[in-house]
Amino acid sequence: MASLSQPEFFYLVLIGSGGMLLLVVGIATFITLYQKRILQEQERKRLLELEFQQKMIQTQLDTQEKDSIRIAADLHDSLGSLLWGAKLNAAFMGRSFEMEGEVKESYDALVDILDQSIHAVKRIAWELTPEAFHHSGLSQSLATLCARFNGKGLRVEFNEAGESFLWNDNRALSVYRIIQELVSNTIKHSEASRLEVDLFWTPGILFVKVSDNGKGFILTEKRGGVGWWNINHRSKQLKALIEIGDIPMGQGSEISLRIPLQHAK
Amino acid sequence: MDLPIIISHFSSGSVLVPLGIFIFKRFRIVKDLAPLIVLLIVSLLCDLSSFIIIRYSVNTYPLVNFYLFTQFSVFYYLFFNYLKRAAILKWIFIFFCGFYTVNISFFQGPFQFNSVTNVFASIILMALSLYYLFTLLKELPTATIHRLPILWISFAALGYYGGNFFLFLFSNYLTKSIDGSLAILWVLHNILNVIKNILFAIGLWQAYHNPNSSI
Amino acid sequence: MQNKLKIFIADDHTVVRKGMSRLLKTFKRVVEVQEASNGKELIQLIGKEQPDAVILDVEMPVMGGLDAARYLLEHFPDVKILVLTMHTEDVFISRLMDLGVHGFLSKASGPEEVENALYAIVDKDFYKNNLVDNALHNLKKQPLDPTLEKLSHREVEVLVLICQEHTPGEISARLNISEKTFFNHRSSIIAKTAVRNNIGLYKFALQHGFLA
């Protein structure tokens, strides 16, 4: 093979290194491009997943709400009415026969049981879904809620301040559900004797404080429950800020919510 | 020794890099890459035989033509596999084989460099590797693309045939008209060959170290 | 005072209907009871003969209590309506009250309450119980609508007595007027206050401070 002259050698080096450079640049570009697309794709997938998750949660919450309404309506219309029918028949019997002694006692007990059952049905149905929430609005429904739990060794107080208004949309219902969950948590676990629900309305933001004098949040809470799932996701949806704190020395707990009002008034 | 000769030896020896990895891994064959190993061995044998027969002044072009055809087939087969064995690729290959046979029998013959068919081979393989890279960009099969052996093989094909396309295209013209151009031609080809083998080595290495990364 | 009352019942639960029917027959003044399983059937029944009062369930298929009440109030204003419901929230009661329904009972009441309610709506045109009071206790006092014609002194007297749940007989006796004059006064008040019946008058009186 012939040896190379200097210019030939020069071109050789030029072409060789040029080609090499081109290849390296090509590879680098390709990989960079690829990585970028991968990242974009991952981001897209993440967003999709997030959206999907949000939708799932929304559906779940909606289903819960619908189920509550359905069950409450069923309780009222079937069980309630049937118990009422039983009571009417009992009343008829009471008026038709003169009863004495144990028979009378048993009959009275029967009527009493029927009464209690009817009231239990009404109570359960009401707890499932507050009747006429959309008519009464948040404040009114909360006042009723607190009034219902008041008594039996527990004082439940409801206070509100600021410019309140009839807030009755689905977001309001979510707020109601959160507070209902907090209140029933307190009643179930905290051994408190006082419970306070405070609303403070400001333009654009509603502040909620649920406080009690029980054994404190940290001691009472198993945070994994369905109740907490609900509270968390509902506040997330409301874009609400939830703050959970124990009052020092086991003097109860205090949970604050800061809920943006989307269209105040 | 002359520089072209050194580069020529260097080129012949470069095949030992991927083969070395193969030997180092105790001759274990990654399923998809068996044709590649065959190619490496053929390459080594061809270089060795041409090294011997060139001493007896025998024309080495039949050997070169044979080797280039084998190489084309191997690359083609690899892409064919990775491109989900599309039917049209089968037909293109059959057509190319016919073309090759006709050329080697009636036109350029086995005793000179088969530039025409090799130019076509270059075009086909460049197209295939580009197309494959494009599908990678579209499908995004894995987050760590550099672990994909076929990626490196694609680069090897692209670099090698991209460079050789021009060499093959002008080879007959250059060797006839310009003195010493044959030497340049072969030097450039050998450089490309070295690069190809290095990329093969990377691909092979990735194949051994990421056994699940082939698609 | 009528002593032979004809009562119709509408309820979709047969047990409730039968039970109510049996119970009603034990009431002294009730002589006839007819049953319908929904609003539509009730209206068909009433098309044939008019009862003194109907006892209406709110939740019924085909035609609910609300629609039935609306229809009856429009077409048979003399038929008194007693609504029985599980839903005792104020809003529901007020809505029915504004419609012109004469009385409400929760589906937990005892037989005596049913009897009293029935007699009250027949005799006094309305039955005032805690449901009505609860529904009205949030009512805000309002000044009189100036566009309404002013009530005469006598009319105010009549209004107050009606709201205190006196029967027409008692009121006419107390004011020394004939029952016919009483009814003239009452229709004049109803016209001036633009309400439908006595329960509307009660609401009106509360709202405008006629009852101390």
The verdict on C193 and C117 lying in the same domain is no
Instruction: Measure C135 CA to nearest chain A CA, in Å.
Output: 12
Domain boundary among C88, C113, C138: C138
Q: Which residues, other chains included, contact C28 with Cβ-Cβ below 8 Å and sequence gap of 6+?
A: none
Q: List chain B residues with CB under 8 Å of A30.
A: 133, 137, 155
Question: pLDDT at position B122, please?
Answer: 92
The verdict on C123 and C25 lying in the same domain is yes
Task: Look at residue A1 and tell me whether its pLDDT is greater than 50.
Answer: no
Q: Which of A3, A12, A34 minimises the CB distance to B136? A: A34
- Which residues numbered 83-122 in C keep a CB inside 8 Å of some CB on A? 84, 86-92, 107-108, 110-111
Instruction: Measure C202 CA to nearest chain A CA, in Å.
Output: 23
pLDDT per position as a tens digit, C98-116: 888 889 898 888 889 999 9
Question: pLDDT at position C125, please?
Answer: 83
Burial of A191 (0-12, 13-18, 19+ CB in 10 A): middle
Instruction: Measure A95 CA to nearest chain C CA, in Å.
Output: 7
Question: pLDDT at position A78, please?
Answer: 85
B56-82: b (≥16 Cβ within 10 Å) or e: eeeebbbbbbebbbbbbbbbbbbbbeb
Domain boundary among C138, C155, C171: C138
Q: Which of B136, B184, B195 minimises the CB distance to A23? A: B195
CA distances for C27 relative to C4, C13, C97, C114, C115, angstroms: 11, 22, 26, 10, 7
Instruction: Measure B199 CA to nearest chain A CA, in Å.
Output: 11
The span from the CA of C9 to the CA of C17, in Å, is 7
The verdict on C110 and C50 lying in the same domain is yes
CB contact under 8 A, B143 and A42: yes
The span from the CA of A46 to the CA of C68, in Å, is 55
Q: What is the mean pLDDT of residues A30-36?
A: 90
Question: pLDDT at position A24, please?
Answer: 87
CB contact under 8 A, A84 and C108: yes
A99 strand-pairing partners: none
B2 touches chain A (CB under 8 A): yes
Strand order from edge to edge, sheet including A241-246: A155-162, A194-202, A205-212, A253-260, A241-246
CA distances for A52 relative to A45, A231, A236, B165, angstroms: 10, 20, 15, 51
Task: Look at residue C7 and tell me whether its pLDDT is greater than 90.
Answer: yes
C161 within domain boundaries? yes
Assess contact for A23 and B195: CB atoms under 8 A. yes
The span from the CA of A206 to the CA of A138, in Å, is 11
Q: Which of C13, C87, C89 minimises the CB distance to A85? A: C13
Q: What is the mean pLDDT of residues B7-35?
A: 87
B vs A contact (3+ beta-carbon pairs below 8 A) = yes
The span from the CA of B175 to the CA of B189, in Å, is 14
pLDDT per position as a tens digit, A89-148: 999 988 888 888 899 999 999 999 999 999 999 888 888 887 678 777 888 889 888 988
CB contact under 8 A, C16 and A96: no
Q: List chain B residues with CB under 8 Å of A20.
A: 191, 195
Share of chain C above pLDDT 90, in %: 20
Q: What is the mean pLDDT of residues C16-44?
A: 91
Number of domains in chain C: 2
Q: Give CA angle at B11 (A5, B198), nearest 5°.
A: 125
The verdict on C134 and C156 lying in the same domain is no
| Residues counted in chain B | 215
* Complex ipTM value: 0.80
Domain boundary among C84, C110, C138: C138
CB contact under 8 A, A122 and C86: yes
The verdict on C202 and C181 lying in the same domain is yes
Q: What is the mean pLDDT of residues B158-181?
A: 77
In the structure, what pLDDT confidence band is assigned to residue B99 with cuts at 50, 70 and 90?
very high
In the block, which residue shows the tokens 């030939």? A8
Question: pLDDT at position A265, please?
Answer: 41
Work out the number of other CB atoms within 10 angstroms of the CB of residue C66: 19
C89 within domain boundaries? yes
The verdict on C28 and C117 lying in the same domain is yes
In the structure, what pLDDT confidence band is assigned to residue C35 with cuts at 50, 70 and 90?
very high
Tokens of C136: 């009205």
According to the per-residue pLDDT averaged within each range, which of A244-258, C2-16, C136-150 is highest?
Answer: C2-16
CATH code of residue C180: 1.10.10.10
Question: pLDDT at position A3, please?
Answer: 59
The verdict on C133 and C151 lying in the same domain is no
The verdict on C127 and C164 lying in the same domain is no
Q: Which of B2, B155, B163 minimises the CB distance to A3? A: B2
Q: Which of A76, A89, A121 minimises the CB distance to C19? A: A89
B8: nearest CA in chain A?
A1
C212 within domain boundaries? no
C32 within domain boundaries? yes
Backbone torsion region of residue B124, taken as left when φ is above 0, otherwise alpha when ψ lies between -120 and 50, otherwise beta: alpha
CATH code of residue C76: 3.40.50.2300
The verdict on C119 and C153 lying in the same domain is no
C195 within domain boundaries? yes
Q: Which residues, other chains included, contact B86 with Cβ-Cβ below 8 Å and sequence gap of 6+?
A: B80
C209 against C117, higher pLDDT: C117
Question: pLDDT at position B8, please?
Answer: 85
The verdict on C20 and C77 lying in the same domain is yes
Q: List chain C residues with CB under 8 Å of A81.
A: 11-13, 16, 57, 59, 86, 107
Task: Look at residue B77 and tell me whether its pLDDT is greater than 80.
Answer: yes
Task: Look at residue B213 and tell me whether its pLDDT is greater than 70.
Answer: no
C165 within domain boundaries? yes
Instruction: Measure B94 CA to nearest chain A CA, in Å.
Output: 30
The boundaries of the domain holding residue C162 are 147-207
Q: Which of B2, B145, B191 minimises the CB distance to A31? A: B145
The span from the CA of A178 to the CA of A227, in Å, is 9
A19: nearest CA in chain B?
B163
- Which residues numbered 24-63 in C keep a CB inside 8 Å of some CB on A? 26, 57, 59
C51 within domain boundaries? yes
The verdict on C153 and C106 lying in the same domain is no
Of C87, C96, C115, C138, which to mutate for an interface test with A (greatest number of A Cβ within 10 Å)? Answer: C87
Question: pLDDT at position C6, please?
Answer: 92
CA distances for C74 relative to C70, C71, C78, angstroms: 6, 5, 10
The verdict on C133 and C31 lying in the same domain is yes
